[in-house]
Amino acid sequence: MDAGAVEGDLVEVLFTEKQIVDRLAELAAEVDRDYEGKDLVIVGVLRGAVMVMADLARALDRHVEMDWMAVSSYGSGTKSSGVVRILKDLDSDISGRHVLIVDEIIDTGLTLSWLTSNLSSRGPASVEILTLLRKPEALQMPVDVKYVGWDIPNEFVVGYGLDYRERYRNLRDIGTLAPHVYS
């Protein structure tokens, strides 16, 4: 879906599809360098990370195993509740393997902090995080993120996997959602 289809719902487009794909290619080159010769599994955080995970995996110049977890701390609201629930766990054993958690956004940091701790307890060789977006002003819990696409202001954003009540995920760009949509 093009931003023009929801123009009245967006305050502004922050990143175009081309900017996003180009940035993910840059991040993929860093991941390729850092994990050369290592057994890597990338773990996407459902559902928002689907677009990021797919484009990152396609940009990698190596074989990579993909797995998924579904965790929730939002419900249907616009702010994290801080209570994390596992909705879908990994299908594969990560013990002794290098794990790269892939997410579309780090907001409060509570979910990723919890997820990093949870996965680290399973005996992997390493656990790192790649996120397309991070909101430094919203962080409530410090999270060590190895790869960041962009830092953004503490505003509600949608598109490229990011949603509001399951809408806007298929928007090709990322934009700031107008307050009249969620007020």
Task: Look up 107 and say whether it is catalytic.
Answer: yes
- Active-site residue (options: 9, 55, 103, 107): 107
97 φ/ψ angles, rounded to the nearest 5 degrees:
-105, 160
Q: Is the dihedral of CA 152, 155, 159, 161 positive or negative?
A: positive
Cis peptide before 47 (omega within 30 of 0): yes
Contact yes or no for 45/115 (Cβ under 8 A): yes
Beta bridge partners of 128: 100
Task: Supply the residues annotated as catalytic.
Answer: 107
